[in-house]
Amino acid sequence: MATTTDTLPGRPYGEVEGNYLTHERGLLSWLTTVDHKRIGVMYLACISGAFLLGGIFAMVIRWELFSPGPTVPGLNADRYNQIFTLHGAIMTFLVIIPGIPAALGNFVLPMMLGAKDVAFPRLNLASWYLWVTGAIFAVTSLVMSAADTGWTFYTPYSTTTQTAVIPMTIGAFILGFSSIFTGLNFIVTIHKMRPDGLTWFKLPLFLWGIYATAIIQIIATPVLGITLLLLIAERVLGVGIFDPTYGGDPVLFQHFFWFYSHPAVYIMILPAMGIISEMIPVFSRKHIFGYTAIAYSSIAIAMFSFIVWGHHMFAAMSPLANMVFSAVTFSVSIPSAVKVFNWTATMYKGSIRLATPMLYALSFLFLFTIGGLTGLYLATLGTDIHLHDTYFVVAHFHYVMVGSTMIAFIGGLHYWWPKIFGKMYSEKWGNVGCIVTFLGFNITFLPQFVLGMRGMPRRYYDYIPEFEALHRLSSIGAFIMGIGLFVTLFCLVYSLFKGKPAPDNPWGSASMEWQATSPPHYHNFTKPPKVGDPYDYTDLVWDPKSEGYYRKAEGQGAA
């Protein structure tokens, strides 16, 4: 039985009675668990591994591009093409798409609802195994002869190249199902497992983000699955669908592919926006501004995301189709802009604490604003025709996927880390990691905007000498960013061994997961959590002894 003494400082690690990390031990107890918290941690470990692998490929790419001509010893054009394909495929399918929902979402979502687990715990474990299986297929293609198609698998290149395209597409197909299962699970959980009194408009905004994401996951992902099966059918059986030599249409593939993959961009960004909507109010100690607008804008983004895919193909379509897709593409910018204004307004007259998660949230605001605004140049037909398929696009989507999603993911990890592992990390090194990563990121990708404007096409192994200076700057930035990420990694891992025990509510958040102990009990809550406004901080009081917050009504250490 847990008592309130759990909240006192100096509690040795794992001493919370029946905490989910220690109540069972051994590898098998992890591999067979149906506990959403453990599944979240397993996702976190695996996704981090994939991120490291994809990151190493990124470093090789930037090293190669440091100078024109062959630069990395032994890396010819074919190898380079395989490496940028693997970088893209691993980062999108294994890291960014599952990242926030599967790792942080799994851990936090049921607890934010005050629930014991997700609606279908076994399905949840199954989706983890699907992720692992998909990852094995993707990495197998590495040791065979890695695919060299780019992560977009454009036909007829992908149906005619000699490399192992099929293992990679099978991997992506399986990962799609992992994504569908997770999305389905979350939708049912949010609908069915809310306690009395927790109405839709009292949900934390992170859950609105995850909910909107889940809708896209279950509607769009099957289209990707079918498309990849058609691709395999064409390669293996010679059925003419996309390849013109069999009477197919190569542009049809692009329509199918982007019908999934454009919404997938919002699968990546919506949960990230949700995390920011949690962190900014907590660290401003002030109610989120415009709750309803943020909640509806998530749903609006999810809906609009299905009708804008054509903007990936302005160089291939008719002027009429281009006009329609350009016009609807602008619609996505409005809800995104509304969110940015709301976050900014939340800080107005707040009480802002610059802890590491808040630094990440501010980094996100900076980077997402750039990522979002540069989308306008690409939605506008006149300018997109010039910028399409250049480094401008590369820089734009890295600002959204890495600068926004990845930064929000790492920020969210710092935010929930004390809850997940019951340990505090070093604020100082957390700050250093964040700032170095932020600087490195901007030095990497700001020059790429200029490269794109000046006409540097993407996916080039070699380039003309006039682009050398900007490429060099970009490569130096990438190495700085790599250092920043390693600092962050060491800071977090070090805390597991040497970190101070975390109080139950170190940041003073009002959402329900912080009412559990740190780390949480196996059953999440030992007493029914209190339902309230997740952004009302008025009765949370700082306790200098435990360096955490407690609710005034309950009293500290009383009861």
Partner 1 sequence: MMGNFMATIFNLVFLADADRSAAPWMPVAGTEHAHHVDGVFTFINAICVFFFVLIMALCTYFVLKYRQKDPNDLPEPSPSHNTKLEIVWTAIPIVIVVIMFVYGFAAYMNAVVAPENAYQVKVTGRKWSWTFEYPNGYIDGNLHVPMGEDIKLLITSEDVIHSVYIPSFRIKRDAIPGRYTVLTFKADYASPEDGYNLFCAEYCGTEHSKMMAKVIVQEREDFDAWLAEASDYVNNLGPLKAGEKLYLERGCKSCHSLDGSAGTGPSFQNLYGNPHPLTDGTEATPDENFIRESILYPKAKVYSGYQPVMPTFKGSLTDPEIDALITFIKHQSDNSRAEAEKIQADFEASKPKEEEK
CB of 503 to partner 1, least distance (A): 12
Instruction: Identify residue 178 by its one-letter amino acid code.
Output: S
* Torsion angle of C-alpha atoms 299, 303, 309, 310, degrees rounded to 10: -130
What is the Cα 165 distance to its own chain's centre?
Answer: 25
Subset of residues 70 to 99 that bind partner 1, contact rule: CB under 8 A? 77-78, 81
Largest CA distance in the chain: 78
Smallest distance from the beta carbon of 187 to partner 1, in angstroms?
27
- Using CB under 8 A, which of 107, 266, 514, 535 touches partner 1? 535
Residues 13 to 52: which contact partner 1 by CB under 8 A?
A: none
Q: Give least dist CB 222 to partner 1, A.
A: 26
Tell me which residues in 225-244 interact with partner 1 (CB under 8 A): 244
Residue of 229, 233, 236, 327 interacting with partner 1 (CB under 8 A): 327
Q: Is position 366 an interface residue for partner 1 (rule: CB under 8 A)? A: yes
Q: Which of 9, 150, 532, 557 binds partner 1 (CB under 8 A)?
A: 150
- Least distance from partner 1 to the Cβ atom of residue 109, Å: 24
Contact 37/449 with Cβ under 8 angstroms?
Answer: no
Residues from 475 through 514 that contact partner 1 (CB under 8 A): 508
* Smallest separation, CB 75 to partner 1 (Å): 13
Give which of 381, 384, 519 is closest to 17, Cα–Cα: 519
DSSP state of 19: B
Tokens of 154: 């454009």
Q: At what angle do helices 205-237 and 165-192 cross, to 10 degrees?
A: 150
Among the listed residues 362, 434, 502, 510, the single contact to partner 1 using CB under 8 A = 362
Residue 512 in contact with residue 531, Cβ under 8 Å? yes
205 contacts partner 1 (rule: CB under 8 A): no
Distance (Å, rounded) from C-alpha 110 to C-alpha 185? 11
Closer residue to partner 1 (CB): 37 or 339: 339
Among 19, 106, 326, 437, binds partner 1 (CB under 8 A): 326
Pick from 381, 432, 439, 476 the residue near partner 1 by CB under 8 A: 381
Q: Which residues, 6+ apart, have CB-to-CB distance to 436 below 8 Å?
A: 480, 481, 483, 484, 487
Triad 41, 218, 229: Cα angle to 5°: 100
- Helix (H/G/I), strand (E/B), else coil: 150: coil
Region binding partner 1 by CB under 8 A among candidate stretches 21-29, 170-178, 380-388, 395-403: 380-388
Q: Which is nearer to partner 1, 49 or 244 (CB)?
A: 244
The footprint of partner 1 on residues 159-188 (CB under 8 A) is: 160-162
**Residue selected from 463, 514, 522, 550 as contacting partner 1 according to rule CB under 8 A:** 463
Does 316 participate in binding partner 1 (rule CB under 8 A)?
A: yes
- Contact between 341 and partner 1 per CB under 8 A: yes
Please pick, from the candidates 386, 428, 498, 523, the single residue that binds partner 1 as defined by CB under 8 A. Answer: 386
Nearer to partner 1, 29 or 160 (CB): 160
Min CB(445)–partner 1 separation in Å: 15
Answer for which of 102, 282, 365, 413 binds partner 1 (CB under 8 A) is 365
Residue nearer to partner 1 on the CB measure, 455 or 532: 455
Shortest CA distance to 332 belongs to which of 237, 266, 397, 381?
266
Stretch that binds partner 1, among 10-18, 89-97, 182-190, 369-377 (CB under 8 A): 369-377
* Angle at CA of residue 262, ends 223 and 252, nearest 5°: 55
CA torsion sign, 54 to 56 to 60 to 62? positive
Give yes or no for a contact between 311 and 325, defined as CB atoms under 8 angstroms apart.
Answer: yes
Decide if residue 351 touches partner 1 (CB under 8 A).
yes
Q: Which of 22, 27, 48 is nearest to 102 (CA)?
A: 48
In the list 2, 223, 232, 450, the residue contacting partner 1 (rule: CB under 8 A) is 450
Is residue 542 near partner 1 by the rule CB under 8 A?
yes
Closest CA to 57 of 25, 80, 33, 34: 80
The correct pick among 63, 306, 429, 460 for binding partner 1 (CB under 8 A) is 460
Bond into 519 cis (ω within 30): yes
CA-to-CA dists, residue 466 to 79, 223, 454, 472, angstroms: 24, 42, 10, 11
Q: Which residues contact 120 (CB under 8 A, 6 or more apart)?
A: 184, 185, 188
Angle at 267 between CA 265 and CA 269, to 5 degrees: 70
Residue 446 lies near partner 1 (rule: CB under 8 A): no
x-or-dash string of contact with partner 1, 401-440, rule CB under 8 A: ----------------------------------------
Site for partner 1 in 242-301 (CB under 8 A): 244-245, 249-251, 284-293
Contact (Cβ atoms closer than 8 angstroms) between residue 477 and residue 444: yes
